[in-house]
Homo-oligomer: A and B are copies of this chain.
Amino acid sequence: MHKLLEDLVASALLEDVGHGDVTTNSVVGPELRCRARLFAKQGGVLSGMQPFKLAFGIMQAEMAEWSSLEDGASFAKGDLVASFTGKTRAVLTAERTAMNFVQHLSGVATLTRRFVDELQGLDCRICGTRKTTPMLRLLEKAAIVHGGGATHRHTLFDGVLIKENHVMAAGGIAGAVDRARKHVHHLLRVEVEVRDLDEFGQALAAEADVVMLDNMDNETMAEAVRRAKGRRVVLEASGNASLERVRGMAETGVDFVSVGALTHSAPAIDLTLLIENS
């Protein structure tokens, strides 16, 4: 919902601006307008144009002549990413907040794209996890999609994922899957995390819809893929997938590789906003 995003950006602005931008308000005349240009100082994949633009709008920059690349677009070092005119005070005050969104989210999209590119030609998709930055899940999940990845569940209630800790508390995979099926509604699939082929067998026997192969080596995963042949089960590989390892993981035949680093460790993309009086 647009209102949700607007509230988030307004909160982020408030966090930065507080009682007012004392520098800009004392140094820059209230009547000035400027042209602002967003340039890339390194290559990447764009994400976050919505909060970027909203930040200036909420500060009442009276923007005009807006043009920009779209979320999901690739850009190279030196490229012009966006351009607009607006009231100088508002542009300067909103700048840092706007940049913090777009630099972080483009970082997520860019890292995702690199993982996706590693899988070229394979029938396996990269997806994210719930290891996201607090308050930014919706935007980071979108950034993964902009980078070419899939989202996985967003929350604890739009998907069932029985992890090791649940199995322990429930006393076994069979029982856990059975309980989940009985209690969750009929539009949700049930996924189980398994650590070895024995557990994998239990998951298949329990007719889990999706199985997460957690921290397995590639041979074990390949064997799991073989055992699942002919069944209507989705396989997801998980556990410290790196750019070096990911293709090997995918070549085992799994349907998804989920990568926490997409959201918890993506470095920001270096962008810069150049401003001139207009």
Q: Which residues of A contact B (CB under 8 A)?
A: 1-4, 8-29, 32, 34, 51, 58-60, 88, 92-93, 95-97, 99-101, 103-104, 107, 127, 130-138, 141, 150-163, 165-166, 168-170, 176, 179-180, 182-189, 191, 209-210, 232, 234, 236, 255-256, 260-261, 264-265, 267-268, 275-277
Contacts and interface: CB of A to CB of B under 8 A. Distances in A.
A51 to B, nearest CB: 8
A156 B3 contact: no
Contacts of A188: 22, 158-159, 187-189
Number of this chain's copies in the complex: 6
Contacts of A184: 22-23, 26
Contacts of A3: 10, 13-14, 58
A39 to B, nearest CB: 14
22 contacts: A2-B60, A3-B13, A8-B135, A15-B138, A16-B137, A20-B138, A22-B183, A22-B184, A23-B156, A23-B180, A28-B169, A29-B169, A96-B156, A97-B134, A127-B186, A152-B187, A153-B185, A186-B234, A187-B191, A188-B189, A232-B232, A265-B268
A25 to B, nearest CB: 7
